[in-house]
Chain A
Amino acid sequence: MVEHLAASNDVTITLPRVGERIPTVVVDDAHVIYRVHKGAGGGTTPVAALRRLVKRTSAPNIQEVHAVKGVTFTAYRGEAIGLIGSNGSGKSTILRAIAGLLPVNRGAVYTQGQPSLLGVNAALLNDLSGERNVTLGCLAMGMHPDDVARMTPEIIEFSGINERGDFASLPMRTYSSGMAARLRFSIAAAKKHDVLLIDEALATGDKGFRKRSEQRVRELRESAGTVFLVSHQLSSVRDTCERTIWLESGLIRMDGPTDEVIRAYEAFSNKK
Chain B
Amino acid sequence: MLKNYSFEKTAVQTFDEHTTLAMKTENMQVFYGSNHAMHDASLAFPKNQITALIGASGSGKSTYLRSLNRMNDTIATVTGKIWYHGVDINQPNVNIYEIRRHIGMVFQRPNPFAKSIRENIIYALRATGVKNKKVLDERVEQSLQGAALWDEVKDSLDKSALALSGGQQQRLCIARSLAMSPDVLLLDEPCSALDPISTVKVEETLLELQKKYTIIIVTHNMQQAARISSQCAFFHLGHVMEYSPTTTMFSTPQIQVTQDYVSGSFG
- The answer to whether A and B belong to the same complex is no
Please give the residue numbers on chain B whose beta carbons come within 8 Å of chain A beta carbons, in ascending order: none
